[in-house]
Chains A and B, each alone.
Chain A
């Protein structure tokens, strides 16, 4: 009887969760096996949508490449920058709080706002950035940042600029959990700064680094709004997987969009598990977790 009563209490939440999460999740799978416009026609086509996406649609491959390209920059440049800044701020006891706020403003801002703001700065005509470069004698570096083949690199760097605040805050929090006594003991034993960094900071920060890497991959591969506001897809040159899904939905190709959603989901799950597995292996090897 108590069990039934308890179940009664969670029933509303369960129903809401089922209707708004589980049902759409399952329905996405169902739609990915159908072809139609979502209004009238709905034909069961088996794996045809998946075949279309994986085998025929070159644009999907390019969208994945674009997503991976931006992710590469986010994993390297963005996270290294965040790491370096977090290390600096960790030691800056007086100004640390100010920096934390300053660096965290960007991720808090809307992606659309960032996209539009940066667009106004870097568009080449009239272009604040290009004019500024000319004024300081670097006119040769002025480029058509959005209207040429540079657009994907530009998008990647803007994404890094917008996203490094998240990684910074998480890494900083991780750094502050490392007991100061460990560094003191190491210093007494004669360890220099580099040895402390390699033998204490990095191993103890590995769980945090793994989490930052996974979150970076998940966040970047699903980036959309900022890129749309910044480049509008730039003739497919900055079309990322979620933008592709969005475009297919706009074109009433619901089945294709759902198939792409499922494929992207599977890719992200696989990448996340791989990253976690690698991180666990690294931590085991470095003796952070027991075998």
Chain B
């Protein structure tokens, strides 16, 4: 009996040792001999550029930087949440998703408040950013997320959503490639002309990804009803059955009825849409500024231009969905917090931002890099004043409402739902969520 107890005890100790060693977090060792910062990200097109920057930083400061790529973004997102729960986040990481998710990370004390660093030396670091890029990481005093006001992230680039036009197809159809559609009607007319004269599609987009269809609907809604009324809808003060919303939903019927949409548009992911547009299979598309790099890789000879949302009303200015594309946050519990902040200051300095523009064709997050921008990005950069983004709105729509709205918009395009029924269904979910 005594032996068996010893045996059991031995097994128990082995298990405990294994468990304890498994819980050891190598990224948060209390006294690292060599200073090493681990950065988790999801940007597979930038890994090579990041590695080059890491080598440069090591040469300049002696601090080792390891960029760890996790792709696709869905997997990355889940990994970060799991790491937060397990307390094993790296020194620097990014958060994908809604601002409420970032708020939860902050409230759980996973993210360091960078306000003191930003405000230091006359707020020189803070002032170096485009406000539109930094704002998505700012929680104001009146924020609805219950987060202590502050700046909690560092944008490393800026994203702007816009329409793109294939110059070659417009030319083939006898249209002027330098005169791009300014209104919805012009847009539909030109897309139809290209379709009739070239046999190519009028418009392609990754509407299988709900957020893209939502993004377009949001831009049109703001143009039609203004940002105030739009925010009032999110607050529940204006119903989705309002005539302005019905008009927005009807635009998708008009697009469908015009026959200009790529046949598989509601089951297409953005990668497929980018592939189709780069092969000149459609006259127009709707995509983000990151597509400059994607199109360059897929078809270096592609001739295209960005243009703003074809407006549906003159009542309110056109707003473009945009702001910080990718931001990095600092792990609040990391012993290398200072080093992490120093690295983020370094990567957002002019030289590094210029390098990233050249290597990855992304818009910079800081001012002063305008001369480095290629013409196609310069055009987009000039629209910085028109940006809007859910992360800078005073409140965000509930994800259940967004889910049902995106699905209904997709169903309208598929011809199985009418705008009025869609609006009713969205409003029903909105009211239920509001009650909760």
Contacts and interface: CB of A to CB of B under 8 A. Distances in A.
Given A37-B104, A59-B404, A148 B415 contact: yes
A40 B107 contact: yes
B100 interface: yes
Q: Is the interface of B mostly helix, strand, loop or mixed?
A: helix
A12 B19 CA distance: 13
A15 B15 contact: yes
Interface string A225-258: 0000011111111010000000101111100000
Contacts of B13: none
A8 B414 contact: no
Contacts of A8: 4, 7-8, 11
B124 interface: no
Given A56-B432, A232-B267, A250-B74, A39 B81 contact: yes
B408 interface: yes
A234 B263 contact: no
A235 B209 CA distance: 9
B348 interface: no
B65 to A, nearest CB: 26
A245 to B, nearest CB: 13
B407 interface: yes
Given A8-B11, A41-B104, A252-B81, A149 B414 contact: yes
Contacts of A231: 208, 267
A158 to B, nearest CB: 13
Interface in A135-188: 144, 146-149, 151
A38 interface: yes
Interface in B189-217: 201, 208-209
A94 interface: no
A125 B97 contact: no
A279 interface: no
A31 B209 CA distance: 28
Interface string A246-275: 010111110000000000000000000000
Contacts of A12: 11, 15
Nearest to B276: A125
Nearest to B411: A235
Contacts of B408: 235
Nearest to B74: A250
A260 to B, nearest CB: 13
A125 B264 contact: yes
B142 interface: no
Given A1-B1, A5-B4, A253-B399, A147 B414 contact: yes
Contact of B266 (A1, A41, A119, A235): A235
A11 B16 CA distance: 13
B399 A251 contact: yes
Nearest to A48: B436
A39 B85 CA distance: 6
Contacts of B413: 235
A247 B403 contact: yes
A41 B268 CA distance: 35
A4 interface: yes
The CB with the most chain A CB atoms within 10 A, among B97, B100, B414, is that of B414
A237 B100 contact: no
B392 interface: no
B399 A148 contact: no
A147 B263 contact: yes
B265 interface: yes
B355 interface: no
B100 A37 contact: yes
A58 B422 CA distance: 13
A232 B208 contact: yes
B105 A39 contact: yes
Nearest to A246: B74
Contact of A40 (B5, B11, B104): B104
A213 to B, nearest CB: 31
B3 interface: yes
Contacts of B399: 251-253
Contacts of B362: none
Given A232-B269, A236-B410, A123 B263 contact: yes
Contacts of A123: 263-264, 267
Given A4-B8, A5-B4, A234-B267, A125 B262 contact: yes
Given A7-B8, A39-B105, A252-B104, 12 more contacts: A4-B1, A4-B8, A39-B84, A39-B110, A40-B103, A125-B262, A125-B263, A149-B416, A151-B414, A234-B266, A235-B407, A236-B410
16 contacts: A1-B1, A4-B5, A8-B4, A15-B15, A37-B104, A59-B404, A123-B263, A144-B264, A147-B266, A149-B416, A232-B208, A234-B414, A235-B406, A235-B413, A236-B410, A250-B78
Interchain residue pairs A-B with the least CB separation, the first 9: A235-B410, A236-B407, A4-B4, A232-B208, A40-B104, A39-B104, A40-B108, A125-B263, A124-B263
